[in-house]
Amino acid sequence: MRTCRVRGFPFLAAAAALGAAMTSALAQEPAAPPCPETPAGYRQELWQQAWQIHHRAVLIDTHVDTTTRVLDQGFDMGQRAADGHFDLPRAAAGGLDAVFYSIYVDSRFYGDEHTLFADPPASINDDWPRPKEPGAANGSARRALMMIDGLLRTIERHPTRMVACTTADELLAAVRAGKHAALMGIEGGHAIEGDLGLLRLFHQLGVRYMTLTHTVHNEFADSCAPAEPRWGGLNRLGAKVVREMNRLGMVVDVSHVSDATFADVLRTTSAPVICSHSSLRALCPHPRNVTDDMLRALAANGGAVMINYNCGFLDADYAKNKSGREQTRRIQEKAARDKFADGSAELQAALKSLDSRFPPVDRPPLAKLVAHVLRAIEIAGADHVGLGSDFDGVPCLPQGMDDATFLPRLTYELLAAGCSEAVITKVLGGNLLRVLRAVEARALQLRGTGPELAEPRTDQERLPR
Ligand SMILES: [Zn+2]
């Protein structure tokens, strides 16, 4: 396994002192729960040490999609569920102190050219397809509002266990009080429907980051998913969105955007930005992941990459095997359905045989996730790496990270790889707190400026470059 190589200060006294300072700032945090049995293959002494470090640190996850379950399935996060990746009991068991809940607006609400959702479920979309014109009302803002309502209803239902937070100080106060800190990040800039006023109102409601795009290009920025660019990065409205987010104190999130959008954001923003849930392209060449150059740019900006746990973003072989196997299976299944009558014994036998010939692809091991974290530390530096699981938003998590209860194993693996407590504390949440504070400080500096306003004649022009 790759060892923990920290750019700039490899295990110097300065790092230890910083770690001690961060730890003592949290001295009032409730004591760690009793350490559970050592997992198979783990060294007992190291596991017990990792457990203490894990619970001393403030663990913050910048991307959890359970909000979609809350809204669409009436899911109660207060109960431990048998399925999915996340709920409050599992967050507590995994030492997960604070979460940015994804106010996720599926691309189908925007009604763009993306064909993936050509046949959406009737339960969510009663008037599909939605309008495509830039600036046309399209249901995205309403969906975001309903997501926010779903989360706020959850918090109201469990007031003794969780608390809505909008600042780094509120987050830390919640953790010290032994409560789960709930924050909000919009996923998909189409949620603001091209309207800076809606951006400001979402901020008023407590949203503290926005992923500029999801899988579609929107009114102001290009996504990494479609093959052809729309604006070639940000347009003029996009630059206003970034500046307005700086002014409001909302973190700009560049997960999901195209490389050109990423570059435009970095030269526009005056505050640190994050990738709320992306992994590394050097280890898994997926456009959702960041290159080493992007990592260096994030570090220079004072921002951070939060590593995504999705198998398909961690392991290129997994992604390739899975899509190859699924494609072959689909072809053979179609042939069987064409050949045999529905409900016939022959069809049943053919499908059963397909199941045994095409078993699920093995999930990658936890080591793959750890390798992304360690490489990000090596390239960007220990001050610019964090965690954005994508719990309940991805179909596959690595073996050994089945759900939120497995999080202490990540701390163990980082410790086993030679990372100091100071470095681990930063990765688990310290870096996100620093970014949040920097964004809050920048907003204070910008007080009295703006607001950015629409200029319909020029907003859709490409950003000069
Ligand atoms: Zn996402």
pLDDT in tens, 344-377: 999 999 999 988 888 888 899 999 999 999 999 9
Ligand 1 centroid–CA 107 distance in Å is 11
Q: Give the pLDDT confidence score for residue 111 in this predicted structure.
A: 63
The per-residue pLDDT for 253 is 98
Tell me, in angstroms, the distance from the centre of ligand 1 to residue 363's CA. Answer: 20
Q: From the CA of 223, how far away is ligand 1's center (Å)?
A: 11
Q: What pLDDT was estimated at residue 221?
A: 95
**17 lies in a domain?**
no
Contact yes or no for 232/226 (Cβ under 8 A): no
- Residue 37 has what pLDDT? 94
Does residue 153 carry a pLDDT above 80? yes
Q: Calculate mean pLDDT across residues 284-298.
A: 97
Give the pLDDT confidence score for residue 119 in this predicted structure: 44
C-alpha 282 to ligand 1 mean position (Å): 19
Provide mean pLDDT across the span 427-456. 96
**Cα of 257 from ligand 1 centre, angstroms:** 10
**Residue 286, pLDDT above cutoff 90:** yes
Ligand 1 center from residue 277 Cα (angstroms): 7
Quote the ligand 1 centre to 189 CA distance (angstroms): 12
State in Å: Cα 212 to ligand 1 middle: 11
Q: Is 252 helix (H, G, I), strand (E, B) or coil?
A: strand
Q: Is the pLDDT of residue 116 over 50?
A: no
CB of 306 within 8 A of CB of 384? no
Query: Looking at residue 125, what is its pLDDT?
Result: 38
- Ligand 1 centroid–CA 278 distance in Å is 8
Res 118 pLDDT > 50: no
In a domain, 393, yes or no: yes
- Do residues 242 and 265 lie in contact, with contact meaning Cβ atoms separated by under 8 Å? yes
Report CA(350)–ligand 1 centroid distance (Å). Answer: 36
Kindly state whether residue 32 falls inside one of the protein's structural domains.
no
Instruction: Tell me if 40 is assigned to some domain.
Output: no
pLDDT reported for residue 31: 78
Q: How far is CA 103 from CA 106, 145, 180, 269, 308, in A?
A: 10, 8, 18, 22, 17
Ligand 1 centroid vs 391 CA: distance in angstroms? 10
pLDDT given for residue 409 in this prediction: 98
Inside any domain, residue 33 = no
Q: How far is the CA of 125 from the centre of ligand 1 (A)?
A: 20
- Residue 105 domain flag: yes
Angle between helices 316-339 and 345-357 (to 10 degrees): 170
- Domain with 156, as residue range(s), is 45-116+132-315+364-445
| Number of domains, the chain | 1
Cα(38) to centroid(ligand 1), Å: 33
CATH number of the domain encompassing residue 431: 3.20.20.140
Is the pLDDT confidence value at 227 over 90?
A: no
Out of 13-27, 29-43, 304-318, pick the least confident.
13-27
- 252 alpha carbon – ligand 1 mean position (Å): 14
Closest CA to 237 of 11, 458, 9: 458
Ligand 1 centroid from CA 411, angstroms = 24
For ligand 1, the distance from its centroid to the CA atom of residue 305, given in whole angstroms, is 14
Share of the chain above pLDDT 70, in %: 89
- Residue 376 CB coordination number (10 Å): 30
How far is ligand 1, taken at its centre, from the CA of residue 168, in Å?
23
Rounded CA gap, 326 and 309, in Å?
21
Residue 115 has pLDDT above 60, yes or no: no
Ligand 1 center–CA 255 separation, angstroms? 7
Confidence of residue 16 (pLDDT cuts 50, 70, 90): very low
CB atoms within 10 A of CB 77: 30
Cis peptide before 287 (omega within 30 of 0): no
Q: What is the per-residue pLDDT across 156-182, written as a single tens digit (0 to 9) for each?
A: 999 999 999 999 999 999 999 999 999
User: Global pTM?
Assistant: 0.89
State residue 319's pLDDT score: 80
| Percent of the chain surpassing pLDDT 90 | 75
* Amino acid 360: pLDDT: 81
Output the CA–CA distances (angstroms, integers) from residue 207 to 103, 156, 330, 341, 374, in the order listed.
Answer: 8, 17, 41, 52, 30
The CA 361 to ligand 1 mean position distance, Å, reads 22
Tokens for 239, please give them: 């630059």
Tell me the CA–centroid distance for residue 214 and ligand 1, in Å: 7
What is residue 337's three-state secondary structure?
helix
pLDDT at 1 over 60: no
Please return the burial class of 358, using the count of CB atoms within 10 Å of its CB with bins 0-12, 13-18 and 19+: middle
Does a structural domain hold residue 24?
no
Peptide bond into 451 cis (omega under 30): yes
Assigned domain for 37 exists: no
The average pLDDT across 244-263 equals: 98
Instruction: Indicate whether 15 pLDDT > 60.
Output: no
Span from the CA of 66 to the centroid of ligand 1 (angstroms)? 12
DSSP label at 362? P
- Assign 445 a pLDDT band (cuts: 50, 70, 90): very high
- Cα of 463 vs centre of ligand 1, distance in Å, is 25
Residues 71-114 have pLDDT tens digits of 999 999 999 999 999 999 999 999 999 999 999 998 878 765 44
Q: Which of 21-25, 92-96, 139-143 tops mean pLDDT? A: 92-96
Burial (CB count <10 Å: 0-12, 13-18, 19+), residue 438 = middle
Give strand pairing partners of 74.
none
Q: In the prediction, which pLDDT does 137 show?
A: 58
- Average pLDDT of the chain, as a whole number: 89
